Structure formats: C-alpha cells, structure tokens
Amino acid sequence: MLMKHNKKALRGVNYCIMSGIVLMSLLMAKPASAFWLFKDGKSDYSIQLPASASLTERTAAAELQQVLAEISGIKLPIVADAGTGRHIHVGWSSRTGRQKPAAADEGYTYETIGDDLYIYGGSERGTMYGVFSFLERELGVHWLTSSCTRIPKKSNCQLGSLRHSEQPVVRQRLDFYNDALWHHDWAAHNKINTQYLLAQNKYGSFSAYWGIHTFQTLIPPEKYFKDHPEYFSVFNGKRSDKAQLCLSNSAMRQELTRNFLAAIKNNPGYWCYDLSQNDNPWPCECDDCKKLAERYGGQSGALLWLVNQVAGEVEKVFPDKYVGTFAYKYTRHAPTSGIRPRKNVVIRLCNIECCMAHPLESCPENESFIADMNNWQKLGSNIYIWDYSTCFRHYLLPFPNFKTMAANFRYFSRSNVIGVMEEGCHNVRWGEFSELKQWMIAKLLWNPYQNVDSLAAIFIDGYYGNSAPYVRRYYELCNRSVKPDTHFTINIHERLSLYNDRFVNSGLSLMRKALSKAVGDEELQKRILRLKAQLLYLKMYQNPARSIADGTVAELKDIINADETKVSESLNTVDKVLLNMGYR
C-alpha cells in the first residue's frame, strides 16, 4: 500500500543516478573457486524457502525449480531449513548481513556468499523479480510473449562470484499492450506492476488507476441534463450535453463530490481515482468559468481549482487515496498563477501532440511540452505520464519510434515522475511490431539506460529464429528511415517521406527472404506475415486502387484471416479505409 502522500514512497526513488546512468552493483568475474550449480545431470544444491515466505516468494521458488529443471533436467528440492549442503536462498536471510528490505520494495539483489546463492528483495514483489532476473541475466531465459518463452538447454552451469542489485526507475509501470494487460504471468516476469484493472494472483497484487475522462461517468448527461442543464458547459452560447461540466456551478460540484466519493467506496483497491475532463475540446464558456480561468491562469487552473476541492473532501474519508486529473490538450499547460495541486492530486500529463520520431528533449517541435513539464514540476506536482507508442489511426502502419521510447523514458526518470503509461495497440492482438515493442517497453520502464538495439537483438533472435537476420535488417531499415527532418505524431500520415517506395520494396524483399527461412515452421511463418502486414497495409493506404488490382488487399486480408490471434477490428480497419476512400 502506498504511504499517505509520501512522495519518496510514491516515486520509488531508492535508486541512484549519476551522469544519466543507473548505478548497479555488479561483480561477475568467476574466480578459481567457482562451483557448479549443476554438472552432468547432478547438483549439490537445494532451494531454501523459509516457512514465512510470501505468496510471490513461493511462486518464485516454484518457478525457479521448474525452469532450472527445464534447463538442466535436474529438479532441485525445495526445503524450509537450510541445513547442510549448498543452497539457493529465495527471500531475505539474516545470513546476508544486510538490512531486510521493506515489503513493498521492488528492488532486488542476488549474490553469492560462500557456496550459497542468495536472491532477495521486498517480499511483495522484489524477491520474485530477483529470481526472474537471475534466470534471465545469468541463464539466458527470456519471456518474450505470452506464448513464447525461450529456455536454453545446458548440461553444465558454473557459478562465480555474483553480486547484482537493481531498483526500478519508475514506480508505476503500465505497458498498454495485450500481453502486458491480460497475461499476468508475462507482466510479472517482465516486471510490469500495473494493470488497467485491479488483479490479485500468485504473482502478487497489480495496482491500477481507476477511470479515464470521468466527467461523463460521474455526471452522466442522460441522468442530469434534462433537469440540470446548468451542470454542463455553455458551448456556442447554450448549454450542451456533448461538452464538459460547468466547473463554477456549486450545486454541480457538490453532486460531483458525492458521486466521486461513492465511486471510490464502490471500487476499492485502486491507488488513484480519475476526476478529469471529457475527451473533447469544449470547456465551459459561461462568464463564471471564464473568470475562473482568468484567475488561475488558464483552463488547467480552472480544472485544478475544482479537482483540489474534491480532493480535499476525499482526503477526509480516504486519506491514503490519490485523485488524478488530466493535463491534456487544452489543460496540458500548468496554471500560471494562484494555484498548485494538493498533495493528494496526481497530474496525468499527456504528450499526444508531440513528435514521436525524435526524443522529447531534442526535438524543437516538443519545446512546448518540455516547458509544460517544467512548469508542472515547479508547482510540486505528482506527475504521471501518459505516453504513446503507436499510430492510433492505423495500428498496422510502421511506427519507428524505438530509439525515441528509450530516450523519453530516461527523461521521465530524471524528472522523477511517479508513473508511466505507455499506450500501444491494446485492443487488438497485434499491430506493427507489437510483440517486440511491448517487451522492449517493459524492459525500458524498469531501466531505460539499456541499449535499445541490444534489447531488440535478444527479442528478434529469440522470437524469429531462423528468420531473425532478415527481421533485424527490417528493424534497422525502420530506424534508418527516420531522419532529422522526419516528424510524426500518433496520427502518422501514410504520405510521410519515410514511407517511400524504396522503404516498401526493401521491406517486402526482406520479408520474402525471412519467409524462405521459415518453410515448414507454421508458427514462425505467422510471425513473419504479421510483419509483412505492415507493408501491405501501407501499400493499400497509399494507393487503394492499385492494391486492389495487384492483389495486395487480398493478401493482407488472407494474413489477418489465417491468424488465430486476430480480432475483428483488424479486418474492419482494412474495410473502413477502403470505404472512406470510396473503394467499397
């Protein structure tokens, strides 16, 4: 549970940053006294799990036993008492000589002391993350997708002197892709700790942020507009049930507060509850609301004035809960005078207008966002970032922002944001490079100071097998296509200069070569075809008439229809594009 308005606990800043590098204690050299974890079908080790172990520590010990058995063919016993012999200790032990981590501490350490290996962290999730990281870093295990885990086979494994520690850079980590949202085992193995909805299972408790654009949920027009039109915005000279709320109306604020408190009571367990504008650009234009905006330095100030009042009532009843609101579009800028967020208010700052081709800090088109971030920070805000990693108009269009994501996550970490939501193609099973992106996002949200190309190589080699060399070349082609003068937002346009004929033809040539290496492997063929669908969709969108005539559209639909992971939206999107262009 988050401590009451404790920013250090909320941000999880028990990590150290120097010159932009996350410092991790690491000693990997193998001395002459190195010993064998297993050798030639035998092992002297058992897994020591104390009787007081938490649920997630028990999960971690069981999975450690299972994965080591798959690697070596040896099933190590799990014992409650260390006794004699060599052990892998799962969970903190006084034998380490180190202070016991707080239960909620997600950081971990694994180290050898004498002949024994100790893996420990906070009992809620830290120890579990340590076990998964040990398997990943030292033994090459990778949980790539919910249906693809790479576990190498080894007959011998020698342990040297190990000491490795990590802390998460971002406290709340939400990876808005299908596997991360709906496959809690995949999320836990890749250190994602937040979901769209609350979840509790053997991998622990996943936190969640309740609600989005909740004005219409808390004061629904179908319930209130007929009898209380004064609760709603004046737009174009009259009250509108399609706009926002009238922030200056005292009766509306009282009803909103009652409904918001009821929502918290009826939806327990969330760490933050949303109280925010609807997703439209029509704030109230009545005289009193205009005065509020003038008094508090813009529409964001007027919104924050309302949110602060409700948050004050929330604190009286629910002192450990946070009230979140948007800094989004017309409220993205920080108020310029007379107001600052209460200590229990979270500002969910969205960069939807920004250039996604280049890092936020280095692109002139993003200067206004950087200014807004700085100004919200000056107000002492708890900032939660809503970031974007795909094209929302067309999930299948290539969206080469790999290098941008890492740079932006580093910027967010230096800015001490309390969380990041990385929104991708969450409502379809696959889009452009979605498998790779969701895995990379999980890795970078934990530690953005990793080499992006190295991460991509791990995933591509593990997921695309024999076809990996050509997929890597396609990944590199996408990255090379982004030039200093290339700019795109989440509404990337199919006529963008990077989408030229050379890009399409080179990509399709690489896909043909990749498919030639996948002959006889039906699953690998499907994975390659999902990548090829990006290029076919781009061709269709650029020239629908020609794509219908030359079979591009038919091939694209065949790929979607043949893949059991498809959802209807994929085909609907193809048909909608054609319909909008007059070809259906």
User: Which DSSP string corresponds to 364-403?
Assistant: GGGHHHHHHHHHHHHTT-EEEEEEE-S-SS-TTS----HH
For the segment 56-65, what is each residue's pLDDT rounded down to a tens digit?
Answer: 999 999 999 9
CA angle 219, 221, 227 (to 5 degrees): 95
CA angle 561, 557, 514 (to 5 degrees): 90
For the segment 469-518, what is each residue's pLDDT rounded down to a tens digit?
Answer: 999 999 999 999 999 999 999 988 767 788 899 999 999 999 999 999 99
Please name the amino acid found at residue 373. Answer: M
Task: pLDDT band for 13, please (50, 70, 90 cuts).
Answer: very low
- Residue matched to tokens 């704030």: 283
Task: pLDDT band for 569, please (50, 70, 90 cuts).
Answer: low
Q: Find all residues with CB under 8 Å of 491, minimum gap 6, and list them.
A: 391, 392, 393
| 151 within 8 A of 134, measured Cβ to Cβ | no
For the segment 123-141, what is each residue's pLDDT rounded down to a tens digit?
Answer: 999 999 999 999 999 999 9
Q: Map 335-374 to HEC letters.
A: CCCCCCCCCCEEEEEECCCCCCCCCCCCCHHHHHHHHHHH
| Residues 515, 497: Cα–Cα separation, whole Å | 27
Q: Find all residues with CB under 8 Å of 366, minimum gap 6, and list them.
A: 351, 354, 355, 358, 360
pLDDT exceeds 60 at position 177: yes
Around Cβ 44, how many Cβ atoms within 10 Å?
14
| 147 within 8 A of 565, measured Cβ to Cβ | no
| Residues 295, 287: Cα–Cα separation, whole Å | 12
pLDDT exceeds 70 at position 1: no
What is the model's pLDDT at position 73? 96
What is the model's pLDDT at position 80? 93
What is the model's pLDDT at position 15? 32
| 528 within 8 A of 464, measured Cβ to Cβ | yes
pTM for the predicted model, two decimal places:
0.92
Task: pLDDT band for 28, please (50, 70, 90 cuts).
Answer: very low
What is the model's pLDDT at position 584? 63
Q: Please list the alpha-helical segments (H only) found in 242-331.
A: 250-266, 287-295, 299-317
